[in-house]
Structure formats: C-alpha cells, structure tokens
Amino acid sequence: QVQLVESGGALVQTGESLRLSCSASGRRFSIKRMAWYRQAPGKQRELVAAVSPTGGANYVDSVKGRFTISGDFARNSVYLQMNSLKPEDTAVYYCNAAVTVYSGSYYITEKTSEYWGQGTQVTVSS
C-alpha cells in the first residue's frame, strides 16, 4: 500500500500565494505520474495539474500562468505553487498518484493503481 499526505492548505486573501506539498510513502513502489485535483462545494472533482517523471506538465486552463506543479520523484513528492489566488480557487485540493507496487521475492508482480491523499482545504477570501 501507498499513502499520500498533503499539507499547505490555508485561508488566504485574493492575490496571495500558497504552496501545497504532497509526499508518498510505502514499500517497493514507483510513481508514474503525480497530480493535483480540486473539488469545490457542489462541483465535480477536476484535474488542476499533473506532472510526469520526464518533467512534462499540464494544467487546467483556469490556472495556467498562475499555478506551477513540480515533482521531486526521487523523494516521491509533488508540489503546487499557487500564485495570484482567486476566490474561485477555493476548494479541497487532493494529491493523486499513479503508482506501481511491486510484490514477491522470486517472481516479482506489478500492480498499478491510483492513490489519493486525504485533501487539504484552500480558501481564498475576496
């Protein structure tokens, strides 16, 4: 099993910045992709940004130019730098990772699954 733990959510004012962090822990795994999702009250969860070990990143249009995702795959961590925050960025932010877990000693088996953190609240006041 793999656990994801997020931190960094807070209450801020419009125009301020926040940095979210997420770290994965467990045994015998490798991460294929890490991402941040968010879910506002009454809305569906949406992908905010994603990054791969090769460094490629993609963003939802509403955060382009304001948010930056960075992955430290050697430390199984991902960060989301959020600048120029707006009230519409208010949501619970979830860390997500596509992870391959290895098991067995003589014969190694692999299983790739998605894992989620518990979420961290970001509130932007106007």
pLDDT at 1: 86
pLDDT tens column, 70-103: 999 999 999 999 999 999 999 999 999 999 999 9
Read off the pLDDT band of 33 (50, 70, 90). Answer: very high
CA gap 114, 65 in Å, rounded:
27
pLDDT at 55: 80
Tokens 């460094």, residue located: 55
CA gap 26, 28 in Å, rounded:
7
- Decide if 122 contacts 89 (C-beta within 8 A): yes
pLDDT at 93: 98
Task: Check residue 59 and give left, alpha or beta (phi > 0: left; psi -120 to 50: alpha).
Answer: beta
